[in-house]
Amino acid sequence: MIYTHAACLQHCPGPGHPESPDRLKAVLRALDAPVFAAIPRVEAPLVDRALIDRVHPGVEYAQIFAHAPRVQTLRLDSDTVLHPAADSLEAALRGAGAVVAAVDAVLDGHTRRAFCAVRPPGHHATPERAMGFCIFNNVALGARRALDRGLERVAVLDFDVHHGNGTQDCFDRDARVLFASSHQWPLYPGSGALTETGVGNIFNGHLPAGSGPREFRAVWSEQLLPAVERFRPQLFLVSAGFDAHRLDPLGGLDVETADYAWLTHNIVALADRHAEGRVVSTLEGGYSLTALAEAGAAHVRALFGLAD
């Protein structure tokens, strides 16, 4: 299943902002190719407020709900803006709702794989505050839903060029969730050091500026995927950011489109062994429209086992 919603195109952080509606438009155009025609499309619902309050108990989140319906612009940090605020809030609620609904769908046996073509992204949003273009932590809300439904082991795999500090903060004391991230080091937001290991459930892989296919594949095949294999997750969640691509203007890595397909094939193989094939992936970063369309399509083809 592919989850999306027109509201996710209405979030406009401002002229020239890299996290623009054009990003999602590029992904959706790529997914209109005939190869994807048989994948059911599902309209993303609104996420339940009670679940948000459990994952994001910070005072800032209560203020978002209080102020967004009443103001035109709500600035949360230098990079994170709700404008127009009510439309941006709906987009964020639909983005998070997509991941939660997809988790329900795979756990209920309606599908084994799902991709959430949504925005704004989520992996920088911490329990206390929105930041780094992210309002709610979509993948963390999905993981919380899975735990609430009785799963004992959930893995979150994040290959965005930026470290998913918010996701790590949500679960670094919860051994039921493994978080594995490859990211450029050093780079925003400055977290993701090798010494950040949580309760033995956090695995960070560093990629120095200029790293390309060899380094990207090595950090996953030699460090991160073996840790995931040992954990034997019952569900795989993927923070699918494509800004490690060599064309991306905000990253400094040289990953190729084929590397995303390679990693996705490996994730699916692990899911088939340990999780009844259950994988939910959601869009994170990626700011070259060309790379985003190409790599996003390659990821979805591999996720659903479609021919190139």
- Number of separate domains in the chain: 1
What amino acid positions are annotated as catalytic residues?
A: 124
Q: Report pLDDT for 53.
A: 97
Residue 86, burial from CB neighbour count under 10 angstroms (0-12, 13-18, 19+): middle
Q: Is the pLDDT of residue 308 over 80?
A: no
Q: Is the pLDDT of residue 288 over 90?
A: yes
> Burial of 34 by CB count in 10 Å (0-12 exposed, 13-18 middle, 19+ buried)?
exposed
Question: What is the per-residue pLDDT across 26-67, written as a single tens digit (0 to 9) for each?
Answer: 999 999 999 999 999 999 999 999 999 999 999 999 999 999
DSSP 34: G
Residue 24 located in a structural domain: yes
pLDDT average, residue stretch 71-78: 94
Q: Is residue 14 part of a domain?
A: yes
Whose tokens are 């709900």? That residue is 65
Question: Is residue 308 in a domain?
Answer: no
32 is a domain residue: yes
Q: How does residue 307 score in pLDDT terms, banded at 50, 70 and 90?
A: confident
pLDDT digits (tens, 9 = 90+) for 156-186: 999 999 999 999 999 999 999 999 999 999 9
> Cα separation of 201 and 177, whole Å?
7
- Please, where are the H alpha helices in the chain? 21-30, 49-55, 59-67, 85-107, 138-148, 165-171, 213-218, 225-231, 257-274, 289-303
CATH number at residue 189: 3.40.800.20
- Identify the domain containing residue 152 by its residue range: 2-303
Task: State how far the Cα of 283 lies from the Cα of 246, in Å rounded to an integer.
Answer: 18
Q: Is residue 213 part of a domain?
A: yes
pLDDT, tens digit (0-9, with 9 covering 90-100), for 224-268:
999 999 999 999 999 999 999 999 999 999 999 999 999 999 999
Answer whether residue 51 is part of any domain: yes
Three-state secondary-structure class, residue 4: strand
CA–CA separation, 14 vs 30, rounded Å? 24
